[in-house]
Structure 1
């Protein structure tokens, strides 16, 4: 399964919401430096789906706020 995600780094309150356009909005506390926000996004999406973080991979957008994730079952 592939999920398109819009990331909001440096957020005060972490959250995962599903937007009307099908894009997930993931707010994380971590800054967008040294991959910290990317790691937090993977953990947040995995937790939302009840999976291990190793089952979620960033396919596209490592340096962008708009990312494409792949989820392995």
Structure 2
């Protein structure tokens, strides 16, 4: 499964919101420095989707706010 994710780093609170276009908007506290935001994104997604972190891969957009995230079964 591939998800389109819009990330908002440096947020005050962590939240996950589903948008009308079926993408997810995820607010995270980590700054977009040295992959910290991507690490937190994977952690938040794993908790939200109830899957292991090892089953989540950022397929595209590692340095962008809009990402394609692949979830392995």
Please give the TM-score of this superposition, normalised by the length of structure 1: 0.97
| Uncovered stretches (5+) of structure 1, i.e. residues with no partner | none
Shift of 1:10: 0.3
2: distance between equivalents of 1:46 and 1:16? 12
Q: Which residue of 2 aligns with 1:32?
A: 32
Give the whole-Å Cα distance in 1 for the aligned partners of 2:72 and 2:48: 14
Spell out structure 1 runs of 4+ moving beyond 4 A. none
What is the aligned-residue RMSD (CA, Å)? 0.6
Matches within 5 A, 1:36-51: 36-51=36-51
Size of the aligned set, in residue pairs, is 73
Aligned equivalents of 2:3, 2:21: Cα separation in 1: 12
Deviation of 1:18 after TM superposition, in Å, equals 0.7
Q: TM-score, normalised by structure 2?
A: 0.97
Residue 72 (1) aligns with residue 65 (2) = no
> 5+ unaligned residues in a row in structure 2: which ranges?
none
